[in-house]
Every structure is written in C-alpha cells, then in structure tokens.
Copies of this chain bind each other. A is one copy, B any other.
Amino acid sequence: MKIVAAKKILKANDQLAAANRRFFHQAGVFVVNILGSPGGGKTTLIESLASILNSNGAISVIEGDLAGTVDADRLSARGLPVVQITTEGACHLDANMVAAALDGLPLSRGGWLFIENVGNLVCPAGFDLGENLRIVILSVPEGDDKVIKYPTVFQSTQAVVISKVDLLPYFEFQPQRVRETLSRLNPQASVFEVSAKTGQGMGELAEWLIARRTAAACEVAG
C-alpha cells in the first residue's frame, strides 16, 4: 500500500522553494514575501517602498491574486516590471507558481523582488516561496486583536507592518497591544508603524530592509 501524506506535499513545496532561493541568490536579488488580509495595503506598501528604494537597486514585482490584474495594472502604470499570477481559486502562492512567474520577469543584480501574496491571513503562512524575508501587514481598520486570532502567520514572519496608522484617531486600535501579543508569540519580529499615505514610518521600514539585505549578503560572504 502506498501512503501519500500531506506533509510530503509541503515538502515538495519546500524543495521548490529551496531551488527558488538558490536562483535568487545567484541572480543577486533580495526577495520579500508580503502577506496580509485583503485590502490591508500590500500594493500601496510596494508602491511606496518602490519610490524610496529605487536608488538602492531595481525593483520587480510578482502579484498574486485569485483573478484579475487590478494590482499588476496599478504597478505597471508606475513603470515597475510586474508578473501577475492568477491562482484561479487557490488561497496562497506556492514556490512552483513563483518559479513559473520568474520566466517573464526582468531581475537586476543588487535589486529587489517584492512578491505580493494572495490576500489571506491564514493559507500563505505555510508556503515558503524561497524569499529572503517575510512581512505581514496588519492594517489599523482590521483591529489590534488579529495577532491573537491568526497566530500562525504572525509566528512565521520577520516583521509586522502596522499600516494605515493615519487612521488611528478613528479606530480603537492600540499598536502597543500588537507589540505585547507579538512579544510572546514571535519576539524576534520587528514591528513598524507606517502610513503609505503620509509617509510616516516608511523610511524606517526601507532602512530596515536595506540592513537586512546587507546582513544576508554578509552571511553568505562570511
């Protein structure tokens, strides 16, 4: 009798993710996987980071959505090279989809690849894409209780970006509650409070990304 366990399927994704990681490393590209709820501000964050980071390397984007090209159109209109993955119902990107998307995407040595995952606080957490690091966006309108309710994704990330902080006066959202819950769940994670609208916190986030890229390069060199 042959038994195929679900864990083996995840393992296949891990192998493909490792292949992606080797490819990204050889191409000299730093890859950021961006997760978050629908409408949390993932595309806007990429737009904002692109305008800050473009003097620090070329920027390419992979967009994941169930259907349509709304976000890819938005980023294309800003002159960013972007490949749209339509998952046709799947609730997350996987390493195989990302590998397929790389075919049509110009990547520059010393550049950045931002991968916008499907809007979902659950499914993408379990799928490594071969990224260097992962960011989870939590927007102020979603509420500060989301770390308690969706622990897996917040455990899996190197940074939590509290977005739309310009809206804090209109919501009962306390960033300190996010920090406290996270300090128990994932004490290594960095926390940023940003507004892509006003620019607040974006410079700090960009600097952190640059520092992480440098640290990754040193790790490899060392």
Contact = CB atoms under 8 A, between A and B. Distances in A.
Given A119-B149, A152-B89, A170-B167, A143 B39 contact: yes
Interface size class of chain A, counting residues whose CB lies under 8 Å from the partner chain? 20 to 34
A53 interface: no
A195 interface: no
Interface of A, secondary structure class, is: loop
A151 interface: yes
A113 to B, nearest CB: 21
B148 A70 contact: yes
Contact of A121 (B38, B139, B141): B38
A175 B151 CA distance: 32
A56 B95 CA distance: 51
A38 to B, nearest CB: 5
A145 interface: yes
A93 to B, nearest CB: 12
Nearest to A4: B4
Interface in A47-80: 65-68, 70-71
Nearest to A126: B89
A91 to B, nearest CB: 4
Contact of A67 (B39, B91, B148): B148
Interface string A98-109: 000000000000
Nearest to A118: B122
Nearest to A181: B68
A122 B89 CA distance: 7
Nearest to A2: B1
A148 B65 CA distance: 10
Contacts of A11: none
A121 B122 contact: no
A150 B37 contact: no
Contact of A68 (B37, B120, B148): B148
9 contacts: A37-B38, A38-B121, A66-B152, A67-B149, A67-B151, A68-B145, A68-B148, A68-B151, A118-B122
Enumerate the 10 nearest inter-chain pairs by beta-carbon distance, A residue then B residue, closest first: A39-B142, A141-B141, A91-B122, A68-B148, A39-B143, A37-B38, A37-B37, A70-B145, A38-B121, A65-B149
